[in-house]
Amino acid sequence: MRPGAPILRFAPSPNGRLHLGHAYSALLNADLARQMGGLCRLRIEDIDPVRAKPELVEAIFADLAWLGLTYPEPVRHQSRHRDAYRATLDGLIGRGLAYPCFCSRGQIRARAAARAGNPHDPDGAPLYPGTCRGLDPAIGAERLARGEPHTWRLDMAAALRDAGDPLSYEAFDAAETRWVAADPARWGDAVIARRDVPTSYHLSVVHDDAEQEITHVVRGRDLEAATDLHVLLQRLLDLPTPRYHHHGLILDPDGEKLAKSRGSQSLADLRQAGATPEDIRARLGFA
Ligand code: GLU
């Protein structure tokens, strides 16, 4: 690969079998990388200690190999980098940009519902009303020392102040590249570290895209709003912002997003029913 060539990535979460939506994203990333004279890396986003299973990681490798996709070594497994995420989180905490939140989901729902307009974040979750933001730091420290379950939230107002200038990123498609304004405030005080692991999807993805020197992120439109938050985290952490392309989603016959929980057919099901990798490519509109 020539120096400065584009680097893309496919980053599945091993929480279930891959379906046609994953195949579309994987094939599109591979085709774009080839067209641009770059490469596509693979990253296993297995930070969820309950849902991510080793046999599902093996199944991802098998499904991708069946599709004819190969990736440069080493493949990055997020579960092996918790210390790095913890250090990144600690940096934000140390700068007063993150605070511990001891609220349960039920408390957040109830408090958010009591607010005018019952605001929600772009994923449809109740917007966090900021309950723990003003917690006396000494009391917070005591509750942490007691081992009380908690998440870490980004103090959005403080983060935006720290970020300074307005945020934007370059979105690209086959025809053009354009600047898009990012509006992370619509996420409110987002969770950047979960109860069970010292990180979150948002923190790990930003950390790893930089670590893997990703120049072009190609992923589904369902993650388009999350990009606003990612751009903010990149600014705070002094990391480069890649270019983004958010592709359309493959929907099931009812027009809903494919999901295992909705009984969508996995690639393994399709393979067992006799489909070939060429059938999958053709069905997804690839030449
Ligand atoms: N791991 C995420 C998923 O499987 C994708 C993350 C990303 O592409 O940024 O939905």
Give DSSP secondary structure letters for 114-158: TSTT--B-TTSPBPP--TTTT--HHHHHHHHHTT---EEEE-HHH
pLDDT digits (tens, 9 = 90+) for 173-203: 988 999 999 999 999 999 999 999 999 999 9
For ligand 1, the distance from its centroid to the CA atom of residue 141, given in whole angstroms, is 33
On the question of pLDDT at 267 being above 90, the answer is yes
Tell me the CATH architecture of domain 81-249.
Answer: 3-Layer(aba) Sandwich (3.40)
3-class SS letters over 36-70? CCCEEEEEECCCCCCCCCHHHHHHHHHHHHHCCCC
Q: Is it true that 1-80+251-287 and 81-249 share their CATH fold?
A: yes
Short-list 194, 13, 180, CA closest to 86 = 194
On the question of pLDDT at 2 being above 80, the answer is no
Q: Who wins on pLDDT, 234 or 4?
A: 234
On the question of pLDDT at 53 being above 70, the answer is yes
Segment (H or E) for 35:
helix 20-35
Instruction: State which ligand 1 atom lies nearest to the alpha carbon of 15.
Output: 4
Do residues 168 and 227 lie in contact, with contact meaning Cβ atoms separated by under 8 Å?
no
User: In the prediction, which pLDDT does 263 show?
Assistant: 66
CA 96 vs CA 100, 157, 252: distances in Å: 11, 11, 44
CATH dotted code for 1-80+251-287: 3.40.50.620
* Residue 205, ligand 1, Cβ within 6 A: yes
Whether residue 74 is preceded by a cis peptide bond, meaning omega within 30 degrees of 0, is yes
Which of 8, 25, 63, 205 has most ligand 1 atoms within 8 Å of CB, for mutation?
A: 205
Rg, C-alpha atoms of the chain: 20
8/243 Cα distance (integer angstroms): 10
Three-state secondary-structure class, residue 221:
helix
* Residue 13, ligand 1, Cβ within 6 A: yes
* Residue 200, ligand 1, Cβ within 6 A: no
Which of 44, 45, 211 has most ligand 1 atoms within 8 Å of CB, for mutation?
A: 45
Residue boundaries of the structural domains of the chain = 1-80+251-287, 81-249
pTM of this structure: 0.95
Computed over every residue of the chain, the mean pLDDT equals 95
User: In the prediction, which pLDDT does 260 show?
Assistant: 66
Confidence band (pLDDT; 50, 70, 90) for 236? very high
* Residue 12, ligand 1, Cβ within 6 A: yes
Q: Output the residue whose Cα is nearest ligand 1's atom 4.
A: 12
**How far is C-alpha 208 from the geometric centre of its chain's CA atoms?**
10
What is the DSSP secondary structure assignment for residue 264, as one 8-state letter?
P
For ligand 1, the distance from its centroid to the CA atom of residue 249, given in whole angstroms, is 13
